[in-house]
Every structure is written in structure tokens, then in C-alpha cells.
Amino acid sequence: MSTEDMYAELAGQLDGELYIDDATREQYSHDASMLEVLPTAVIMPKDSNDLKSIVKFVTRQKLFFPDLSITARSGGTCMSGGSINDSIIIDFSKYFSSIHEVTPKMARVQPGVFYKDFEPKTLEQGAIMPSYPASRDLCTVGGMVSNNAGGEKSLQYGKTEKFVQELRVIFADGNEYVIKPLSREQLDDKMAQADFEGEIYKKIFDLIESNYDTIKAAKPNVSKDSTGYHLWNVWDRETEVFDLTQLIVGSQGTLGLVTDITFRLVPAPKHSGTLVMFLRKTDNLGEVINDVLAHKPATFEGFDNYTLMLSFKLFFYFHKNIGWLGMMKLGLQLLPDALMLTRGIPKMILLIEFSGDTTEAVAEKVHAMHEALKPYGHEALFEEDETEEKAQKFWIMRRESFNLLRKKVKDKHTAPFIDDLVVPPEHLPQFLPEVRAILNKYKFLATIAGHMGDGNFHIIPLMEIEKQSERDKLEPAMKEVNDLVLSYGGSLSGEHNDGMIRGSWLEAMYGPEVMGIFKQVKNIFDPQNIFNPHKKTDANWDYTKKHIRQHF
């Protein structure tokens, strides 16, 4: 049977649409990563029955078409290449877009719902799902679950893994299962089942039990991590709770297809304000961070002098995002700071945000923070922006400069390959100059911005990536940066996940034993490797290298 006939047969079994035309395939060959892979087909499934049919069909046809596989895609904003692949892409955003139920405490929603459509519904209930990423206007909740996304509020609330209560997932046998935390008794019942589901529970439980200490010790010692499979969160001998959702969250669709999500929600903060700290020197950064964290801010973000300068340099580009009126407002607001900066460009700008029920309570917290940081005053300047509006200019720089980098800047493109590293905050004063030295050595035009409180930084060089000389820099630079991060006991990804870009570095981070355990996880769930190959434990740098983006 030809590939076309095979897809025609599959299309006949679906209520949704299946495309194999060049234009559609090309459209789905990119996400927000620096990679490109052309799929052979794109499917918009109508419902779970379609998905079950696809999984069963692929399982059968895999014998005759060994490269056949299924890659889920929701918003397509993955920066690690998680949502692209060389076989079937399943687009959840068209039909899996229902918000079933929202209360002040929980929400049940389909994975293709865009976060920007979800948040207004939760806010109507005075609630929020606080792990939204900086791509909140572009991404879906399915992608957030599958990448274990985090963002500016993760310092206070934690990442997506903390908010997933229940999932529906289609496993490799083509059936849909409800996954939620189980008591020991419920787990025993599951393990006694003589079917694929029972086998998964039994094998995963045995795997964790027989490697219990190794797995618990493997948990990265950082406050944010999206690498590997989070086995350490699945089974706890003391509480005797077994929670398989924790393995699916962050697994990038490599273990199954998520069809339904129940989130826990938290009350939405009513007011917020920011203390802005311009640091002339970063020698004391570690102590500053500790002092700030002791005040339990809602968010604690930061960006370096390069980001600031880029923001000024590319000021013009902002108008596309905030309009001319916004530009004028921003310009006027920035003017005093620009004048102040002539006294010396600060090395680092810290945004320390507090939230509360009244503006007065917020202003008090902002002021108390200022007072506590005054001893650093000889090398720092402060601005108290006790309302959201006053602090907006800095948040625009923080959020939009990152977004802006995605767009073409002259002849250069964003190259996210060291885009999400995490280093325990106490090491930042040593780490930041060292990482900057590596960036300078490779002559990368790159900003350092990110989540200070978590030591999670997004470094996204602008490169002429289509040039071989530039591509040749990727591997050695990545090795130097990743080795540096690991030497400080960090993680290679706080939020953006492994995908194709970091999967092949997992062994360097976890060592061969834990990597072997991760591979067993993949094999237990997906013995035929039908779900999102070339990612995570199945990633291979040679394959990744062949797919570095050439077309823009």
C-alpha cells in the first residue's frame, strides 16, 4: 500500500480532517523552536473516538510503515521542538476547545483551549490558573500541561504540575483512561487488572519501588524543572499516594495523548505593585536575592543591561505590540529612567512584585521591601511602582523584549538552544559573569532575562542561523553552557522542556542509570514508540542537527 492510500484509509475512519497537501504540511513544520521538520500528514481530530482510531490504526500500520508516529500539537509555541515531527501531527486546537466547567476552585477543560480564552472564564469566578507562561496570549492549556509550563507567578505558586488534578489520556492501546491520584488500595486494584492499563500501573510501580532511593535522589535540586520524567513525584512511600498525572505532566506527548484536564485554581490576586531595583554591580546579587525571597514576593524577575539596551535600540519595534499611543506613553515614562541611566547603565534590573487585596496593602509591602534593600543603596537605585500601571513599562520590557526576539531583527533570527537554564539562585553572582563570558566568546548577541527567584534564565541569541559558520557554534557553545549549569547543580530546562533540542543532554544531566530508568518509562507506556519520537529519551543530536531551521 502507498503512503497516500494508507492515509486515505485512515481519513475514511475519521470524523475530523486529514491533510497531506504541501501547504498544510509546511505550515506545521515549525513551532517556536529553531528547528523544522516536515510532517507527512496533519489531522484535526473531532473527538476522542477519532484519536482512538488514529492510535489503533498507527499501531497496526507501524509494521508496514515503521516511521509512522503521532505528535500532538496544540498552540505550537514549543521552544524545544516538541510539537513538530516527521509523521502525523495532531492539531488539538480546532476541535478540543471546550471549557466544560469553571468554579472558584477548579476547571475542567479540553487541551486545545487557548489560555487567553480560559483566563477570562476563571477570572469571572475570581480565580486563576497561575502557572501561565510568558506566551500566555499564544499557547493552550494542553501545551502548558505537556511542557509543565511555568511563568512569572511560579515563584509563588509553582508550575503546572501543582495544578493538575485529573487527566484523561489515550494510551498506546488506543483506549482513553482517567488518571488521578490513587490510594494504596485503589492502586492495588488497578495493578490487579489484566489489561494494558493494569500493566502500566504495575510496571511503573515496580520500576519506582525497585529504584526508589535513586529516583528520589535524582530530583533536580532547583525550584523549577521540566526535564526528563518526574518519577519522583509519582509514588511516595510515606503518604502512600500514587499519582500518575505527575508522569504525564511535562512528558511532551511522548507517553500518550491528553484529551481532558481538570485544573485546581487559586484566588486571583486583586492588586499588585512592583519595586524596581537597578543594580550597578552584581557582586551582592546572591544576598539581594536571599533578602528579596525572605519577603515572599509574588514574582521576582530580572533582566540584564543587554536587554535594557536592546529595548532602547529596538524601541521602534514595540509599536507593533503596544500601538503608537502605548509607545508614546512608554517613551514618556522611560525618559526619566533613561536620564537616570546616563549616570551609569545598571548591570541588572530586578522587578520585585507584591500582590494583595488593597492598593494600600500592596504599597506597604513594596515600601517594606525597599526599606529592607536600602543597605545596598550605594550600588543600587530604586523605584517604587505601587500600582500595576506604574510598573507597566518594565513589565513590557521584560515580556515584550522576549517576544520581540522571536521576530526577525534585521538579518538575524532567534536561536533558542540555551533558552531555559536554571541555577540555584545562591550561585548566580558567580554563574552570570561566567555565562556572559561564554556568550561573548562565541560573539552571540544575546540577552539574559528571566525568573530571578528561581534562578531560571532565558538566553536566546540572535543568529544568522542559515550560515554554516553560525551553526557550527551551536554544539560547542551548548556544551560549555550546559556543563557550566550542571557544575552548579542546575537544570537544563526550567519550563521549556527537553524536546529535540535538549533531549540528547538528559544523560549528561541525570547520568546513565536514571536515563535508563527514563527509557524504561517510555517503553512501558509506548513499546512501539508511536508517540512523539525524537524527543526526550528518544532524542538524538544528529537528528536534531539535521533539522536546524533553514527556511524562514
Ligand X SMILES: Cc1cc2nc3c(=O)[nH]c(=O)nc-3n(C[C@H](O)[C@H](O)[C@H](O)COP(=O)(O)OP(=O)(O)OC[C@H]3O[C@@H](n4cnc5c(N)ncnc54)[C@H](O)[C@@H]3O)c2cc1C
Residues interacting with ligand X, by CB under 6 A? 31-32, 71-79, 82-83, 92, 111, 133-135, 139-140, 142-144, 146-147, 149-151, 252-253, 257-258, 402-403, 406, 495-496, 532
Least Cβ distance, residue 80 to ligand X (angstroms)? 8
* Closer Cβ to ligand X, 211 or 401, answer by number: 401
- Closest alpha carbon to 176 in 161, 193, 196: 196
CB closer to ligand X, 32 vs 373: 32
Task: Give the Cβ contact number of residue 335 at 10 Å.
Answer: 10
Q: Closer to ligand X at the Cβ: 253 or 533?
A: 253
Give the nearest distance from C-beta 86 to ligand X in angstroms: 13
Q: How far is the CB of 405 from ligand X (least distance, A)?
A: 8
Q: Which residues contact 89 (CB under 8 A, 6 or more apart)?
A: 28, 39, 41, 42, 43, 71, 73, 83
Neighbours of 511 (CB within 10 A): 12
Long-range own/partner contacts, residues 546-550 (CB < 8 A, 24 or more apart): 547/35, 547/36, 547/37, 547/81, 547/500, 548/34, 548/35, 548/36, 548/465, 548/471, 548/474, 549/30, 549/33, 549/34, 549/35, 549/36, 549/413, 549/465, 549/466, 550/36, 550/466
**Cβ distance to ligand X smaller for residue 43 or 363:** 43
Is the Cβ of residue 305 or residue 456 nearer to ligand X in the bound state?
456
CB of 253 to ligand X, least distance (A): 3
Per-residue 3-state assignment (H helix, E strand, C coil) for 288-326: HHHHHHHCCCCEEEEEEHHHHHHHHHCHHHHHHHHHHHH
Output 393 or 458, the one with its CB closest to ligand X: 458
DSSP, residue by residue, 254-288? SS-EEEEEEEE-EEPP-EEEEEEEEES--TTHHHH
Q: Which is nearer to ligand X, 495 or 538 (CB)?
A: 495
CB 133: neighbour CB atoms within 10 A? 22
CB of 170 to ligand X, least distance (A): 8
CB of 312 to ligand X, least distance (A): 20
> Which is nearer to ligand X, 162 or 406 (by Cβ)?
406
CB 500 within 8 A of CB 547: yes
- Taking a C-beta distance cutoff of 8 angstroms, is the pair 504, 56 a contact? no
| Minimum distance of ligand X from residue 321's CB (angstroms) | 11
Tell me how far, at minimum, the Cβ of 227 lies from ligand X, in Å. 12
With H, G, I as helix, E, B as strand and everything else as coil, classify residue 18. strand
By Cβ distance, which residue is nearest to ligand X? 143
The owner of cell 505532566 is 249
